[in-house]
């Protein structure tokens, strides 16, 4: 069993780790140094002799001089951990090749050649899960960003585009299914129990989109007819016992294909579309051309094992990877600095898709909550970077919320300023102009600018400047004129001390406080550091609703009375603005309470205002429960910490939980009535049932902060009667945070009920690791020794340790034990899977924003990691940047 001792460094001796020499920093790669590769590779043929312990690869590259590049008589073929078995040029074996670190260097004198290289690898030993690796008896690949070089020598960069022909051969009993990109053009028997298949992808692609899967799989098959009348065969490949849980994924795929045709005019371009679910996977999914490889988490679902949130996530990720067929595959990135070109745009596309499939306002609120909980902290910390970075040392560290989520928000702002129809003209121009190319962010902005008729000169600053703009807002009233005063400041970030003002589009409305109505929404765009906007016709001072729909990814300080926030929380007709008013009401009160600036009267007044607003939400019959559930969610502890220059996690936790407990006491009968009412309609899959399940979970969260015994009885009854995972899980979440007998009983029942189902057992680990229980840290330490825990599976590692690292109550234990636990994990995991290990560094990297005592403990753990020998490039870069 893979059991990790979380109290020791990899060699078991913390003192030795502290004394290790400083590792050599990886080379810095800069965007401004980009030059085209001197050789084109229009075609590549790959021949795989497959085996779990030994796979032999013969690659044949047709290469031609690139007239757009500086000539070079040497070709550099990237490798990682490879040794050439044989090298040929134009059919002749050669010996004048050399190695430059991990790369193969070949002299080439003519204008075109055929380069052949044979390599051998051991997929079963590939714990990094990059390149070709073994997963529970099957072979699969992950090549983004630089995994292809772990399979064979190749110019492994996104601007080298090739057509691929792939032949695979292996034991038929072990690998009855052989899949690759494109279309299967031939297959047959090879004798001695072996068989083969040949695949051809007619569309040029970079090496990071190469994919191969070989294993014992079964398929859910269906088809889709495109708008031009072509039939596309669809298949979702899984293990035998998982087939019945693929129905939702298939429906999501077909919905994605139809939506992309209708909304962006994009039709699928192959005869076949395959998805494979893999249990060992570093990421969520991968958009390889025609053969998407998915983490099982984003494919498998039924009501017994998946929550409503799981269903939504599957739909969104299926859509995201499918939409990449155009925004990522047909048009790819010139270099990795342009990553947001495909990821930011595709995140926006999947957000719009999910909004159309479900509740648009709820989806918008969910997206903003993710942005604020992950990207805003990233933007204000040592790892801050623009959505188009200027440099990196390890590209896998730039698969960040900034590139993905902020990148999507930046493109959404273009759509807001242009309007949906003009924005569509811009995207049509982009697809038509750059189809088949490796493009840049500038290519995209220029297409939107020209197609939509916008001037985006100043707007380009959003691509080059890091940091979340801080907006100060004040509304004055004199006579019949309301004047909106706006000012912006973009804070300093690493490497960018001075910032220029950026264009900020703000959707606003001005409410009459007596009638409760406004005269229509307006769009104002702040382009300077300060500006005023005047509006006439207001006999009374209006109430300002600003950044409606979260039209700009900014942080807003608005000087507004709590009475006006209560009004907006109860009456605003923009769902996001209503949610925002409730959030601001709670954040403002808690921030003052935590700072100690409120006397008892101030605390009572603040709580009373929040109670009034929450009561109005609970009793509003016009609200659907999906939206009601969003309005009930309190600001997270991490978001509260972001609102403070220096955060005290213990004080935030104390005041936040104290407010929840007080509200539970004041509104207990209303919360109980809501829980009971929702329970009568919580069965089913329609929006009403999903909303009912959502508010039941939120009601339990409040009640659990109040009367623990009453909440335990209520949650236990809900758990026992649950007919779906959503209700069972929300009940168990409430129980996991309580010191009651029912906690252990239901946790044991949950484990026994789902033993052997890896995805559900991941939930079991995560529920305990992120619980509000006072002994959560000790529970995590015990769970690390559980027989079902392993460092070899990224899902399992994240389910325990990432859930813990984002649990501020437990992670920020005053004695620093939580910080040491994560540091120990990083040191143990880095030699096994550096990409996953590096993703645990950012929680420690927030030390500058934490009160001095804890900050020193966090910094000490970062220094201990930095001193360890043989750190990976991934972890070394994250730690060194976090330390500054």
φ and ψ at residue 820, rounded to 5 degrees: -65, -35
> How many Cβ atoms are within 10 Å of 542's Cβ, its own excluded?
20
The predicted pLDDT at position 14 comes to 29
CA distance 114 to 90: 5
**Closest C-alpha among 48, 42, 29 to residue 132:** 48
Cβ proximity of 288 and 148 under 8 Å: no
The C-alpha atoms of residue 726 and residue 733 are separated, in whole angstroms, by 11
- In the chain the first and final C-alpha atoms are separated, in Å, by 38
Residues whose CB is less than 8 angstroms from the CB of residue 380 and which lie 6 or more positions away in sequence, other chains included: 467, 468, 491, 493, 642, 849
Hey, which residues does 213 pair with through a beta bridge?
A: 140, 179
CB-count exposure of residue 233 (10 Å: 0-12, 13-18, 19+): middle
Specify the pTM: 0.96
Q: Going by DSSP bridges, is the β-strand pair 438-439/332-333 parallel, antiparallel, or unpaired?
A: parallel
Q: How many whole angstroms separate alpha carbon 879 and alpha carbon 883?
A: 6
DSSP code of 60?
E
CA distance 146 to 143: 6
Q: CATH fold of 337-464, please?
A: Neutral Protease; domain 2 (1.10.390)
Please name which of 337, 241, 253, 243 lies closest in space to residue 287, comparing C-alpha atoms.
253
pLDDT at 559: 86
Q: Give the separation between CA 390 and CA 402, rounded to whole angstroms.
A: 14
3-state secondary structure of 55: strand
Q: What is the CATH number of domain 1-33+755-884?
A: 1.25.50.10
CB 565 within 8 A of CB 584: yes
Rounded-to-integer distance, Cα 333 and Cα 449, Å: 19
Give the β-pairing of 39-49 and 162-171. Answer: parallel
Collect all residues with Cβ–Cβ distance below 8 Å to 582 and sequence separation of at least 6: 565, 569, 613, 614, 617, 631
Alpha-carbon span 544 to 512, nearest angstrom:
9
**H or E stretch covering 545:** strand 543-546
Q: DSSP secondary-structure letter at 280? A: S
DSSP letter for 29, please.
E
Question: Is there a contact between 747 and 739 (Cβ–Cβ < 8 Å)?
Answer: no
Report the run of H or E that residue 341 belongs to, with start and end. helix 339-357
Q: By C-alpha distance, which of 783, 840, 862 is closest to 854?
A: 862
Taking alpha carbons only, the member of 827, 865, 873, 869 closest to residue 80 is 873
255-275 residues labelled b (16+ CB within 10 A) or e (exposed): bbbebbbebbebebbbebbbb
Angle between helices 625-632 and 360-370 (to 10 degrees): 20
Query: Are 362 and 355 within 8 A, CB to CB?
Result: no
CATH code of the domain occupying 474-552: 2.60.40.1840
The rounded distance, in Å, linking the Cα atoms of 782 and 785 is 6
Structure letter (DSSP) for residue 388: S
Q: Which helix (H) or strand (E) holds 427?
A: helix 420-434
The reported pLDDT for the residue numbered 41 is 98
Report the distance separating Cα 279 and Cα 637, nearest Å: 32
Q: How many CB atoms lie within 10 A of CB 170?
A: 24
Instruction: Answer whether 1-33+755-884 and 39-216 agree in fold.
Output: no
Distance between CA atoms of residues 881 and 763, nearest Å:
32
Residues constituting the chain: 884
Residues in the chain with pLDDT values less than 50: 1-23
13 CB-near residues (< 8 Å, 6+ apart)? none
Question: In the CATH scheme, what is the code of domain 39-216?
Answer: 2.60.40.1730
pLDDT value of position 26: 74
Kindly tell me the burial class for residue 801, based on how many C-beta atoms sit within 10 Å of its own C-beta (0-12, 13-18, 19 or more): buried
Instruction: Judge whether 802 and 840 are in contact, CB under 8 Å.
Output: yes
Beta bridge partners of 46: 59, 166
Could you give the dihedral angle defined by the CA atoms of residues 52, 58, 63 and 68, in that order, rounded to the nearest 10 degrees?
10
Bridge partners of 212? Answer: 180
Q: Where are the domains of the chain?
A: 1-33+755-884, 39-216, 337-464, 474-552
Task: Give CA torsion, residues 865, 866, 870, 873, to 10 deg.
Answer: 110
As a whole number of angstroms, the distance between CA 281 and CA 268 comes to 26
Alpha-carbon distances, residue 657 vs 464, 468, 472, 664, 868 (angstroms): 40, 28, 29, 10, 39
| Active-site choice (146, 198, 321, 378) | 321
Sign of CA dihedral 742, 748, 754, 757: positive
Asked about 321 being catalytic, the answer comes back as: yes
CA 642 vs. chain centroid, Å, equals 19
**What crossing angle do the helices spanning 625-632 and 600-619 adopt, rounded to 10°?**
170
Instruction: Please give the Cα distance from 109 to 96 (Å, whole number).
Output: 13
Asked if the bond preceding 145 is cis, omega within 30° of 0, the reply is yes
Q: Which burial class, exposed, middle or buried, applies to 559 when counting CB atoms under 10 A from its CB (0-12, 13-18, 19+)?
A: exposed
φ/ψ of 220, rounded to 5, equals: -90, 115
């Amino acid at each position: 069993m893979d059991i990790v001792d979380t109290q020791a460094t990899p060699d078991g001796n913390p003192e030795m780790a502290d004394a290790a020499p400083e590792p050599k920093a990886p080379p810095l790669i800069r965007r401004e140094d980009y030059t085209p590769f001197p050789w084109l590779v229009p075609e590549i043929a790959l021949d795989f002799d497959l085996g779990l312990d030994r796979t032999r690869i013969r690659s044949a590259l047709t290469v031609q001089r690139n007239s757009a590049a500086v000539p070079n008589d040497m070709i550099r073929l990237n490798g990682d951990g490879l040794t050439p078995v044989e090298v040929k040029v134009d059919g002749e074996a050669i010996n004048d090749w050399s190695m430059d670190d991990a790369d193969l260097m070949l002299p080439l004198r003519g204008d075109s050649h055929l380069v052949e290289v044979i390599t051998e690898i051991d997929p079963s030993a590939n714990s990094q899960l990059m390149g070709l690796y073994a997963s529970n008896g099957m072979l699969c690949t992950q090549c983004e960003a630089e995994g292809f070089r772990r399979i064979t020598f190749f110019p492994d960069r996104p601007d080298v585009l090739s057509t691929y022909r792939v032949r695979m051969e292996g034991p038929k009993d072990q690998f009855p299914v052989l899949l690759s990109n494109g279309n299967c053009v031939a297959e047959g028997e090879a004798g001695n129990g072996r068989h083969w298949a040949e695949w051809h992808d007619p569309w040029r692609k970079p090496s990071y989109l190469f994919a191969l899967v070989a294993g014992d799989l079964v398929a859910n098959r269906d088809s889709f007819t495109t708008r031009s009348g072509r039939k596309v065969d669809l298949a979702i490949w899984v293990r035998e016992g998982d087939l019945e849980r693929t129905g939702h994924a298939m429906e999501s795929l077909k919905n994605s294909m139809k939506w992309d045709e209708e909304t962006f005019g994009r039709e699928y371009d192959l005869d076949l579309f395959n998805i494979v679910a893999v249990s060992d996977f570093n990421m969520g999914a991968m958009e390889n051309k025609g053969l998407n490889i998915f983490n099982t988490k984003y494919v498998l679902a039924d009501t017994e094992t998946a929550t409503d949130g799981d269903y939504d996530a599957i739909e969104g990720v299926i859509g995201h990877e499918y939409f990449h067929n155009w925004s990522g595959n047909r048009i790819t990135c010139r270099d990795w600095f342009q990553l947001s070109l495909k990821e930011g745009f595709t995140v926006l596309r999947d957000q719009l898709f999910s909004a159309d499939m479900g509740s648009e306002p709820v989806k918008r609120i969910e997206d903003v909550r993710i942005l604020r909980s992950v990207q805003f902290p990233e933007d204000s910390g040592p790892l801050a970077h623009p959505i188009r970075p200027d440099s990196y040392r390890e590209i896998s560290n730039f698969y960040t919320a900034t590139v993905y989520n902020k990148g999507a928000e930046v493109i959404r702002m273009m759509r807001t300023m242009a309007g949906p129809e003009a924005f569509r003209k811009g995207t049509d121009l982009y697809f038509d102009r750059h189809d088949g190319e490796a493009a840049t962010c500038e290519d995209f902005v220029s297409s939107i600018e020209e197609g939509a008729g916008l001037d985006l000169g100043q707007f380009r600053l959003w691509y080059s400047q890091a940091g979340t703009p801080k907006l100060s807002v004040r509304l004055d009233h004199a006579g019949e004129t309301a004047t909106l005063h706006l000012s912006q400041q973009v804070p300093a970030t690493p490497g960018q001390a001075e910032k220029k003002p950026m264009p900020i589009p703000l959707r606003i409305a001005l409410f009459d406080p007596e009638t409760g109505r406004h005269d229509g929404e307006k769009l104002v765009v702040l382009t300077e550091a300060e500006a005023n906007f005047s509006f006439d016709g207001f006999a009374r001072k209006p109430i300002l609703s600003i950044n409606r729909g979260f039209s700009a990814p900014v942080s807003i300080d608005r000087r507004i009375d709590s009475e006006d926030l209560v009004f907006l929380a109860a009456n605003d007709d923009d769902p996001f603005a209503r949610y925002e008013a409730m959030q601001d009401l709670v954040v403002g009160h808690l921030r003052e309470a935590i700072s100690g600036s409120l006397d008892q009267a101030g605390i009572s007044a603040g709580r009373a205002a929040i109670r009034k607003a929450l009561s109005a939400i609970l009793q509003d019959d016009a609200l659907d429960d999906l939206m009601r559930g969003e309005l009930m969610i309190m600001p997270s502890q991490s978001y509260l910490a972001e609102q403070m220059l220096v955060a005290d996690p213990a004080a935030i936790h104390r005041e936040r939980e104290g407010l929840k407990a007080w509200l539970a006491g004041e509104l207990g009968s209303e919360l109980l009535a809501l829980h009971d009412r929702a329970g009568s309609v919580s069965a089913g899959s329609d929006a009403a049932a999903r909303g009912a399940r959502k508010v039941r979970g939120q009601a339990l969260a409040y009640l659990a902060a109040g009367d623990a015994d009453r909440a335990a009885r209520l949650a236990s009854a809900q758990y026992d009667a649950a007919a779906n995972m959503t209700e069972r899980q929300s009940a168990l979440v409430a129980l996991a945070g309580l010191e009651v007998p029912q906690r252990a009983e239901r946790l044991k029942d949950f484990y026994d009920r789902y033993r052997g189902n890896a995805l559900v057992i991941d939930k079991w680990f995560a529920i305990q690791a992120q619980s509000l229980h006072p002994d959560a840290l000790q529970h995590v330490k015990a769970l690390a020794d559980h027989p079902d825990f392993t460092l070899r599976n990224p899902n399992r590692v994240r389910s325990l340790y990432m859930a813990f690292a984002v649990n501020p109550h437990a992670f920020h234990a005053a004695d620093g034990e939580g910080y040491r636990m994560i540091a120990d994990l990083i040191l143990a995991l880095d030699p096994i899977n550096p990409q996953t290990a590096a993703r645990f560094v950012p929680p420690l990297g927030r030390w500058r924003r934490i009160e001095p005592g804890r900050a020193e403990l966090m910094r000490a753990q970062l220094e201990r990691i930095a001193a360890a020998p043989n750190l990976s490039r991934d972890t070394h870069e994250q730690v060194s940047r976090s330390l500054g």
